[in-house]
């Protein structure tokens, strides 16, 4: 059962939107606080990943396709996190080196 909406804004009283999405040919209602366009974008991404899986290895069961697509998405996420961590560490290392060099230069100017 959907929650009643505020008639003035059309927004559900609990602040959650219900967005109809289509993933791998299945129509699904997704309820969330995020902007509806963002929810649609996420659904399109998941749909694309699931279609990529079915093209590479035809699997009959949608649940298997969903699991394989989820693993691919998780792999991308983990790689991005590792890359972000490496980049962040590099930036911190460079900032510390610049700070030390600045201290040396300022110390020489005294």
**Residue 11 or 14, more confident:** 14
Stretch 10-30: mean pLDDT, rounded? 85
Q: Phi first, then psi: what are they for 42, rounded to 5°?
A: -60, -45
With 0.75 as the threshold, say if the pTM is over it: no
Residue 92 has pLDDT above 70, yes or no: yes
**Residue 86 or 16, more confident:** 16
DSSP three-state, residue 4: coil
Distance CA 50, CA 83 (A): 24
Spell out the alpha helix ranges (H) of 1-110.
36-56, 62-109
pLDDT tens for each residue of 28-74: 999 999 999 999 999 999 999 999 999 998 877 889 999 999 999 99
Q: Determine how many CB atoms are found less than 10 A away from the CB of residue 56.
A: 10
């Amino acid at each position: 059962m959907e929650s009643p909406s505020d008639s003035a804004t059309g927004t559900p009283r609990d602040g959650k939107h219900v967005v109809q999405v289509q993933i791998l040919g299945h129509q699904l209602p997704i309820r969330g606080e995020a902007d509806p366009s963002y929810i649609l974008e996420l659904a399109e991404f998941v749909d694309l990943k699931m279609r990529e899986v079915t093209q590479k290895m035809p699997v009959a069961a949608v649940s298997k396709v969903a699991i394989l697509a989820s693993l691919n998405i998780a792999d991308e996420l983990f790689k991005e996190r590792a890359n972000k961590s490496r980049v962040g560490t590099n930036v911190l290392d460079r900032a510390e080196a610049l700070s030390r060099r600045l201290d040396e230069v300022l110390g020489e100017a005294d």
